[in-house]
Structure 1
Amino acid sequence: MKFDQLLKKTKSLILKFFHNPYINTIIKGIAAFAIIIIALMIFLNFYTRHNQEQPTPQLVGLPIEEAIATIDDNDLRIEISDSVYIFNKKPGSVISQNPLPGTMVKKNRRVFVTINAKNPIKIEVPNVVGFTLRQAKAILEQEGFEVGTLSFKPDLGLNNVLEQYYNGEEAKAGMRIPKGSKIDLVLGKGMHGERTGIPLLIGLKLNDAVNRIIEASLNVGKIRYDETITSHNDSLDARVYSQYPAYIENATLNFGTRVDLWLTLNQARIPKIEKKDSVETTLLNDVNDDDEIVIE
């Protein structure tokens, strides 16, 4: 009997507790809050497609039409954020993207791309005939061009520009061609068997190595990357670990000789060469045969 009375008394207290208007309001508020939280979690889980990520596809190098199709196939969205012109890239192709390829993203994510303009910017060709190679290089680069192939013919004006060409045709001053184009130069090589030294390129980045080759009155040959180079950004950071012809102190080359380069990101492959190189022109008639090494 005592247990039944205790049970009835407990039940009465509980009912009285829940029928209290203040307590009832608090309980209803907590219940409403819990329902809202649960509904919000369900909505967010559906909206963000929780745990349904996929790698961003590779778009760089693709024509924009193909890039759009690739994005659609992956249930993503594409947005062109910028357009630039790079002469050695295919017009209308993707040259950069964000997020990068392989980045894990959720479906319907926007991928921003920069494309290469289909219509290049055209600018006037300057006249560099009569200038030295060093001066001509500076003028062309300042105007937005690059030095192309160097060729030489006998002339008293050693390393002076005699002619300038674009795509095999004379590049007349004032003609308009795409910005970033390469201008080929014909220069004088002297009349007494003048030659040029071999520049030391080991340890340099590609752009610095190319500049040094041109300044030595030589041409850039084949460029090869080892297995450590897997992307365009890698190629920008890579350094020369081998060159051909190899650097030899006091060795000389004919003007216009091609120099091949091998590049890597592996510092261990780059030999340490502390000897200073010279790109100064030397006259064979004025150099002792015992001191000079001639490389044909």
Structure 2
Amino acid sequence: MLKSLFNWKVLLNLVVAIGVFVGLVWLTFRWLEYHTNHGQEIPVPNIVNKSVQEAIKILDDAGLEYEVDSFKYDPKYRPFQVLQVYPAPGSRVKDGRAIQLKVNPRTWARVEVPDVINKYSGLAFQRLEQVGLKVGDTIFEPSIQKDAVLRILYKGTAVKSKTKLPRFSVVDVVIGSGPMRNIAIPNVVGLTVKEARAVIAKSMFEVGLVEHEDGGKDESDIIYYQDPAAGDVRDQGMQIDLWASKKTPAELSAKIEQLNSIYRMKVDTGLPPIEYHEIPAHQEPNYDAQPPAVPAPKRDIPKPADAVKPDASKTGTAKPTVSGTENKPKTTNSGATSGNNAATGGKTVTTTQKPAEKPKAKKVVVE
């Protein structure tokens, strides 16, 4: 067996097989070097802070591909300025490698206008600020929707929701100031229902009942009656009822008279005016309040001057009083008179003394 193994033919086949294998491996690596540019590397040029147009031209000349991505806008740098490069400048890459460029955009990223129409103004302001829009002027406009957003204006032009605007753009907001009062009702008699709706909406009133004579809903029917009547003063937002027909108002005079008897009140000015008198309002009793204190009954207490005087006969004393009208003067005896005259120089002295009076009975009530 060993003899057959060292046969020259076997050895020749073995050498040929090894040569073919080595040749295939060498050809494979050569093919890989050719297609992968093995050993052929290109340094990444420094294109930071250059404009994107200059950076693209440099990469094209170097045989490198590029991918441009907008970076977050930074007002400190120029628009379309290259801020970052990957791989970093100075790195060696193969021919055809894509270089990623981070470029400062021209302005802020665009954002969508939120749906805030007919929403409360306070909520609308918050939504606009959340998406990055700034509120400029606040314009108030008469509308039955008080404090509701009617329109969003950008540079004087109304924009709809989901419209894209640059971030931090300034928008104006139109807000309803509420309905106006004492506004004249427009005259829509003789117009079609469609035309009447437009006139009523323009005057900021609402269309109420629309009654068609034939029971249909044709918008081309002519209005022959309205309530309230044209010229009446009402607040905006109130409803206006309409009666429509295919006939003209002149042909429906009887129907109009019938409606006038129902919706038009006639005031008889021949009657005397009614006089109104104010009646004082009845004071309702307050049961919760404390009742007023009832004063104690007054007692008839005799004054000291009216008190019963004691009987002079019992006490043995009498208080003399001098009176020249009630009692007559009492004259003393002749002997005493003569003595007194002598003492007084011949003058006569008359003394008056009131006798003790009997006290009158006085009724004293003691409760």
TM-score, structure 1 length as denominator? Answer: 0.34
TM-score normalised to structure 2 length: 0.29
Q: Which has the higher contact order (CA 8 A, sep 6+)?
A: 1
Of structures 1 and 2, the larger Rg is shown by 2
